[in-house]
Structure 1
């Protein structure tokens, strides 16, 4: 983007990452034809291209491969990272790939405007953009701009569109033998434009068969996030019944309670408060850090679950004092 230029003049053109992603040929994505992608049009595109190349050729550990994408998103530089999303999904979908878990962990990073430590009812599962009817000529952007000056909403919308285009590759990962892959697949699929409810139905189907309580909690949070973006009152009511159901694992009930709070503006009922107070032990809070929603919500002095409980049920309580020590333990 050039200084002083009208944003609308770039919409739909070669510097609009939404248009670039939409124009990617299936052969380009499936064949890893990286030279067909205009990485150079977006900040740090050369770094992202190299990371994808290294992951595809199995020559890179995650911290210098897929980790590049996550690191750039954490630094609020998403546009070029979006271009990696289709390739990261294909690496994750290939069981022969040694770094597929790391690739899948980063695939949905550009699809969320990530703000670490955000854990309020208003923000935790919020999708501001709607990729179903996204007009490329529209320069209205609730996300603001990235540190490079690029419109953040364009990056987020393009990433969600890329994930939506590849749901057929992501859905089978909900049944992967590795629980981390199942969790990360749910996390990615939660950002799709769920037009015909197939993704939400896939979460319910997997939940019925899933033996791991942490993965079940992930499926509940993914369902809640998808429902926040695409409201569906019957699903909201279904989630409420999950935290009330004493036969559910504690982690599932906690995830359902948090998800339900994000789907309604009703005051938290007494039975929900009692459920959370009883179930939200320190041990479970640390176990639930395996969920990317909780890992991002937390802070240096708090686990994600503890921060969600405080922000959602006790908003009058102040944030704990920050800790500059990177090894500072969660409490």
Structure 2
């Protein structure tokens, strides 16, 4: 990459997975015409993506056990230890259609889709990292294959954006785990499209499950993170200060507000969050996709990272 004058040398070519994903037609997606996609040119954690079409088809057409086996293999190959892959970005249009059609495994598939559309976490629950999907100016990161992970995540996010309308109805699924996972996936859609933001807010107004409410608040916050949307910042501030809101809503709104703003942590917000780290609330919050990856403390570890960033310089250096 360095000898070829930087990462943009192959931009917009057949070696750029962002370009390749953008060229996959609706006919190919809807018809599951896998042969129209150059799988062999892009890798996952175990080599070329040429084995992905068969696994996708097994997941789509097999019985519940066979489908589960295929999806487990896809997750291990495309999203090994939370690391995205170029082959995974190519798979997203098909995974989206599979999750809509299948009556089972929906939450798991959605989490794979969401993971492909986010940078690797590395346990990062900091103000900089908790709601950060990926940006074009993130530090350069490589996949195990040597491919540019920045491009894979960008391609995955754009693929997700192109088909976000197919996932929006899953916010109303009868299964709360599917509602959580769909909010997590939709939060990675770039450029904060109004349709996604409006649907997340509408679901929040009607949601009765505490864990799903927590996810919806964090998803609304993440969707606003890149542009620091002023209306969302004000909404999060109002929610966390509203004693009539449930505890999980107030806490997640406070976390989102911290991620969407700079400057010192206000004393009243710090005191509120420290008092909220109870044995009852912490497990509920740690069941959300945003916090369940933070090892050795979960919610309390997240607070420590937000309140004492000097103790975690590796997160800041990784992102800057």
Measured in 1, the distance between the counterparts of 2:118 and 2:223 equals 13
Q: 1:108 aligns with which of 89, 110, 114?
A: 114
Question: Residues 209 and 187 (structure 1 numbering): CA distance in 2 closer, same or farther, change over 3 Å?
Answer: same
Name 1:237's counterpart in structure 2.
234
In 2: Cα distance, 1:11 partner to 1:316 partner:
37
Please tell me whether residue 26 in structure 1 is matched to residue 26 in structure 2. Answer: yes
TM-score under structure 1 length normalisation: 0.85
Partner of 2:10: 10
Unmatched tracts of structure 1, length 5 or more: 131-139, 320-331
User: Is the Cα contact below 8 Å between 2:42 and 2:49 reproduced in 1?
Assistant: yes
CA distance in 1, matches of 2:73, 2:251: 30
Preserved CA contact (<8 Å) 2:13 2:19? yes
Aligned position for 1:79: 86
Could you tell me how far apart the structure 2 residues matched to 1:15 and 1:317 are? 40
Equivalent pair of 2:225/2:260 in contact (CA under 8 Å) = yes
Distance 1:195 1:226 in 2: 6
1:307 equivalent in alignment to 2:301: yes
User: Which residue matches 2:75?
Assistant: 69
Q: Structure 2 vs 1, CA of residues 176 and 242 (structure 1 numbering), >3 Å: closer, same or farther?
A: same
User: 1:1-331 maps to which residues of 2 (within 5 A)?
Assistant: 5=4, 7-43=7-43, 44-59=48-63, 60-62=66-68, 64-65=70-71, 68-69=74-75, 72-75=78-81, 76-94=83-101, 96-129=102-135, 142-194=139-191, 196-296=193-293, 298-299=294-295, 301-303=296-298, 305-315=299-309
| Structure 1 residue 63 displacement after superposition | 5.4
Displacement of 1:191 in angstroms is 1.2
Give deviations 1:128-168, integer Å, cap 9, x for gaps: 425xxxxxxxxx76333222221111111111101110111
Of stretches 156-165 and 27-36 in structure 1, the one that deviates more from structure 2 is 27-36
In the superposition, relative to structure 1, how do residues 286 and 62 fare at CA in structure 2: closer, same or farther (>3 Å)?
A: farther
Q: Which runs of 5+ in 2 are unaligned?
A: 314-320
Q: CA deviation at 1:71?
A: 5.2
How many residues are aligned here? 305
Rounded to whole Å, the distance in 1 between the matches of 2:84 and 2:232 is 34
Cα distance in 1, alignment partners of residues 250 and 73 from structure 2: 32
Q: CA deviation at 1:53?
A: 1.8
TM-score normalised according to structure 2 size? 0.87
| Alpha carbons of structure 1 residues 77 and 272: separation in structure 2 relative to 1, 3 Å | closer
**Structure 1 residues 265-298: Cα deviation after superposition (integer angstroms, max 9, x where no partner):** 13221221222122221332222222111112x1
SS at match of 2:124: coil
Q: Which of 279-288 and 229-238 deviates more? A: 279-288
Q: 1:29 to 1:212 in 2, by over 3 A?
A: same
Q: Residues 111-143 of structure 1, C-alpha deviation per residue, up to 9 Å, x if partnerless?
A: 11112311111122124425xxxxxxxxx7633
Q: Offset at 1:220?
A: 0.6
Asked whether the equivalents of residues 186 and 219 of structure 1 are also in contact (C-alpha less than 8 Å), the reply is yes
